Amino acid sequence: VPPKWPSRIKVLLQSFMTAAVGIAVYQYMGAADLGYLDLKSPRSDSVLCLKEWPLRHSLASWTSAELWEDWAAYREDMDTYIRENSCQPRRADIGGEQQCATVHVPLHSMGRRLGNPMGLEHSWTNDTVEIYGYLFLWMTFWMWIMITVHDLALLTVQNRDYILDLRGIKSFFPCWRKLYILLGFRCWKRMVRGGGMLVARSRYVQKPLRLIGIICAPLFLVWSVGTFLAVIMPVVVCFFVIYPVRLSRAAIFLNSLASAIFGIVLTIHCMGFVSSVDHRQTYAVTWSVDSDDGSPCVCGCTYPLSGGTCWTLLLIGAVVAYKSSILAFRCLKGLRRSNWASLMSVLFPVPLTAYEVAWAQPDGQPI
């Protein structure tokens, strides 16, 4: 076996397991089925029937131009789309009762994918779970690449010293200081400490600015988080693509912070889901019927997420925030000094460097 190949294989396997966890989270969020819903609380009273009902999580929706046109049509004007695509089913196919609370549906029709909630005013809140799923999938992909590059480089003698710590980043990438300024943290800290405004070597309005800084602390926090996610993270990813080895450790740290923020936001969002049924995301349960003229027709009712599903999503957000924070803290030692770094994927001890130990007495004589 070639030298270091066992360790490299361990790194590849462990980093892939990290990616597999993120993929599993995405699959849970993006593969909602009938068991995710609270069927006792229909959001719509009457059954709605359409010639074509847009479905969620359909692979064909990404490649079909017609489905993209339908997607834009019903999101732009829901009432017009329903009026142009409505159909009249036979009374026998819906059990003679067009109420969602009492409608009878064939069991074999329950294997269909859940549909988009039609008949309700369109809101982006009905896409929150899918948005979180795609965000976690995107963050997981880059985390997998970053951890693999970092650990494989750390196992090689020639590339180990190329992974930069904070001191090296300040030296090689001085422009990153401007990214820190964009966060607004330095400005807020100066205001809170009473720095005031510097004019002709004199400082003015120190106390008013200090009071403003304390009162506006939540606004500064929102600005910092938004700037970090929308500006700094894309810039860091672009730099990482150009300098994968040098910036792998810093990229892992920042990506972990971003994932932790998304996990905290998902947890808070799901707390709102748990506290109020009206705020939960809704899906449509659909089934095929025959219309009066014999053409295809799809009927459906809209239902919110169940309480159990909301608790599961809340737990996923909390676990993602915790695991991402642990990974970020694990990077701090290597960011402080590069020769203190450890592997990100393999948690059990792996010898990376051997140091000479010389035992001697205080006067320099050997023991």
Report the C-alpha gap between 27 and 134 in whole angstroms. 10
Percent of the chain past pLDDT 90, that is, above it, reads: 23
Report the C-alpha gap between 320 and 313 in whole angstroms. 10
pLDDT tens-digit series, residues 165-210:
888 998 888 888 888 888 888 888 888 887 766 666 777 777 777 8
Report the C-alpha gap between 361 and 207 in whole angstroms. 58
Residue 67: pLDDT band by 50, 70, 90 thresholds? low
| Structural tokens at position 145 | 């690449």
Strand order in the sheet with 48-50: 48-50, 296-304, 282-290
DSSP 325: H
**CB within 8 Å of 354: residues ≥ 6 apart:** none
| Structural tokens at position 107 | 């069991």
Ordered DSSP codes for 47-62 = -EEESS-PBSS-GGGG
pLDDT tops 70 at residue 10: yes
Residue 60: pLDDT band by 50, 70, 90 thresholds? low
Residue 353: pLDDT band by 50, 70, 90 thresholds? low
Highest mean pLDDT: which range of 24-38, 245-259, 340-354? 245-259
pLDDT tops 80 at residue 300: yes
| Structural tokens at position 149 | 């590059």
Residue 196 gets the label, from left (phi > 0), alpha (psi -120 to 50) or beta, of: left
Which residue, among 337, 363, 345, 315, has the nearest Cα to 164 in the 3D structure? Answer: 337
pLDDT at 243: 92
pLDDT tens-digit series, residues 146-171:
999 998 888 887 877 888 888 899 88
**Tokens 């300040």, located at residue:** 170
Q: How many CA atoms lie within 13 A of 158 on its CB side?
A: 0
Report the C-alpha gap between 143 and 165 in whole angstroms. 18
The overall average pLDDT reported for the chain is 82
Summarize the chain as % helix, strand, coil (round to 5).
Answer: 60, 10, 30
